[in-house]
Amino acid sequence: MASKKKNIRATNRAAGAAASVARGGTPEPLRKLRISDVYTAFPRQKKFHESTAKYRLFGGAAGPGKTKALLWEAIRQAHDHARIDTLLLRRTFPELETSLLSYFRRDVPREMYASYNDSKHVVTWLNGSTTRFGYSASESDIYQYQGAEFTFIGIDELTLFTLGQWQFLTSRNRCTHADVQPNMAGATNPGNIGHAWVKALWVDKRPAPGMDRPGQYDPEDYAFIRATLADNPLYKDDADYLKTLDALPRHLRQAFLVGDWNVFAGQYFDLFDVRRHTARAERLGIETWWPRWISVDWGFEHPSAVYWHAARPDGAVLTYREFVANHLSPRMLGQAIAERSLDAEGRFERIAEVYLSPDAYARRSSESTIAEQLGDVLAQNGLPRPAPADDDRVGGWMFLYQMLEQEQWVIADSCARLIECLPTLTRDPANVEDVLKSSGDDPADSARYGLKTRLAPGRAPAERRVAERITAVDATSRAIWMQKFMAEERRASRSVPVPHRW
Ligand SMILES: Nc1ncnc2c1ncn2[C@@H]1O[C@H](COP(=O)(O)OP(=O)(O)O)[C@@H](O)[C@H]1O
Ligand SMILES: [Mg+2]
C-alpha cells in the first residue's frame, strides 16, 4: 500500500509531463504537446492534482475550477499510464454536454488524442488509454458500468449522486496494472440529494449513514481539498458572477460562495432518499382507475409548479408528472396543464380535483381572479375548476415527512425539480416546525398542497372537535374532558417523529 502511494506521488510530481510517459512506441505528436502546454492549474487545483488520497473531493463551493480540474485529472492519469481506462461522470446527459464534454471540446487540442467516438463519448489517447464521458440519470443507470473497470473515476457535482451509486462505482475502480493505484475524485458544491453522505465521508470524516460495511471506513482514504470562488483568478473579481451568487437565497449563498457545509444542518427532509422515495415513472404501475388529482402553486415571476398525483389502493401517493415554468399567464398555464393531462396512449386522464395555492384567489381590481381565469381554461378542457389548497404549512410539511417515512409517497424520477428541491429545504430558525421560505421552494409547496389538501385536510378548531365527542353538559365535566382530550391529542401527535440532523 505504502509503495503504491509513493508511486502515485512520483507520477503526480510528473503531472503535466505527458511526454515522459509516452514511451513504448507511442506516436510522436504526444511528445510535442504536453499537458502543461495546454493547462496550467490554479494553485488550489494543483493541490488537488497532487493529493495522493484514494478518494479525493475538490471544491465545496461555486466556481474554483472544479470541472476543469476533474477533466485534466482524468487526462493526466490516462497519459501517465498506457492502456488504462478512465471515466468522467455527470448525473444527466444535458449537464455532461454543457460541462465536461464542452470543456473537452473547447480545451483539448485534436493532436492530443488518437480518436474520439462521438456516440459512445470515449476518447482514445495516443498511448491507448481511454477517457469515457458518462452519466447516470436514474439510480439504476449506473449499472451500465457493471462489466467495466476504471483506474480513475471522476464525478462532477458529486452531491447529485446517491451513496448507492458511489458505492457501486467504487467496486468498478480497479486496475490490472499492479503498479497503478486506482483512485476516484469528486467535485461538488454543498447541498442536494447527496449532501449528507458526501459531508459525512469527506467533511466530517466518518462513515455515511446507510453505508455498506461502515466498519471498513478509513478516514485516511478520503481527502477534502477545499476551494472557493476566490481560488479562481478569473472569477475572483467578476462582478456579474458575484452578483448572480449574491442574489441567491441566504443559505444557498452561504453554501455556494463560502462553501459552508453546515447551512443545511437544519435540513427538513433529512430522511429523503432517492432509492426509497423515487422510482422510474413506468415502474409506478399506475392503473387508469386509480384516483388522480393535480396540485398547482401559482407564480409568475417565481415559477408555477404543477404536479399530478395518483392514489394507490393501499393509500400511497404517487406523484407522477411535473410541470414547472414561469412567465405563463393563468390561461396559458391552464392550457399547459390540459395538454399534459394525457396518459401514455394520449387519452385524457380522469382528474378528480385540482388544488390551487390560496393566493391565486385574491381579487385584484375588477379583473377576474387568477383562479377564475385558470379555471375557465381547465373547464373548457373537461378538467375540474380549481379548489383552494390547504395552506397549513407546519401540518403540511409534517404530513409530507410522515408519508416519506412510511414510504407512502413515491415520486417519479421525471419530477426532477421536486427531487432536487426537497433536500435543500431547511427549518426556519424563527419557527423550527416550519420550512424556511426560499426562492426555489415552489415545487415543494405545490406537492404539499397536493398531499395535504387531498389526504389530511385542515382540522376543525379544538372546541368543535371536543364538542363532537363530548356530550357532558355541565361546565366542570366539559373542562375536565376538554383537558383529557387535548392531552390525548398531544400524545398522539408526539409519536410524530421530529426530523433532525446530526
Ligand atoms: N486552470 C485554469 N486555467 C484557465 N481557466 C480555468 C482554469 N480552471 C478553470 N478555468 C475556467 O474557469 C471557469 C470556471 O471553471 P469550472 O471548472 O467550470 O468551475 P466550477 O466547476 O468550479 O464551477 C471556466 O470557464 C473554466 O474554463
Ligand atoms: Mg462545475
The pLDDT of 480-487, averaged and rounded, is: 59
CATH 3.30.70.360 is held by the domain 274-455: no
Which three cell numbers mark 109?
A: 487540442
Q: What is the pLDDT of residues 432-449, one digit of tens each?
A: 788 988 878 999 999 999
Query: Three-state DSSP class for 77?
Result: helix
Question: CA-to-CA distance for 366 and 161, rounded, in angstroms?
Answer: 50
The pLDDT of 97-108, averaged and rounded, is: 96
Residue nearest to atom 13 of ligand 1 (CA): 65
Q: Which residues surround ligand 2, an ion (CB under 5 A)?
A: 66-67
For CATH 3.40.50.300, the residue range(s) in the chain are: 2-239
Higher-confidence residue: 238 or 6?
A: 238
Q: Which of 37, 232, 241 to mutate to test the pocket of ligand 1 (most atoms within 8 A of CB)?
A: 232
Nearest to 444 by CA among 331, 303, 251: 303
The pLDDT of 36-42, averaged and rounded, is: 96
Q: What is the pLDDT of residues 281-291, one digit of tens each?
A: 889 999 989 99
Residue nearest to atom 15 of ligand 1 (CA): 65
Query: 241: Cβ below 6 Å to ligand 1?
Result: no
Question: CA-to-CA distance for 270 and 264, rounded, in angstroms?
Answer: 9
CATH 3.30.70.260 is held by the domain 2-239: no
Binning pLDDT at 50, 70 and 90, where does residue 95 land?
very high
Please state whether beta strands 427-428 and 431-435 pair in parallel, antiparallel, or not at all (unpaired). Answer: antiparallel
Which three cell numbers mark 497?
A: 417523529
Q: What is the pLDDT of residues 376-425, one digit of tens each?
A: 999 999 999 999 999 999 999 999 999 999 999 999 999 999 998 998 88
The pLDDT of 185-196, averaged and rounded, is: 87
User: Picking from 99-108, 195-204, 252-261, which range would have the lowest pLDDT averaged per residue?
Assistant: 252-261
Binning pLDDT at 50, 70 and 90, where does residue 261 land?
confident
Given a cut of 50, whether residue 472 has pLDDT beyond it is: no
Please identify which residue in the block is written with the cell numbers 492534482: 49
Report the mean per-residue pLDDT for the chain. Answer: 85
The pLDDT of 445-467, averaged and rounded, is: 74
Q: To which H or E segment does residue 478 belong?
A: helix 475-494
CB 170 within 8 A of CB 186: no
Q: Is 161 exposed, middle or buried (0-12, 13-18, 19+ CB in 10 A)?
A: buried
Question: CA-to-CA distance for 381 and 383, rounded, in angstroms?
Answer: 6
| Strand spans (E) along 192-337 | 222-226, 278-279, 292-297, 304-311, 317-325
Query: Three-state DSSP class for 329?
Result: coil
For CATH 3.30.420.280, the residue range(s) in the chain are: 274-455
CB 323 within 8 A of CB 340: yes
Given a cut of 60, whether residue 30 has pLDDT beyond it is: no
CB 54 within 8 A of CB 169: no
pTM here?
0.63
Question: 377: CA distance to ligand 2 center in Å?
Answer: 42
List the 351-356 sheet strands across, edge first: 278-279, 409-412, 317-325, 304-311, 292-297, 351-356, 387-388
Ligand 1 atom nearest the C-alpha of 107 is 27
Instruction: Report pLDDT for 484.
Output: 60
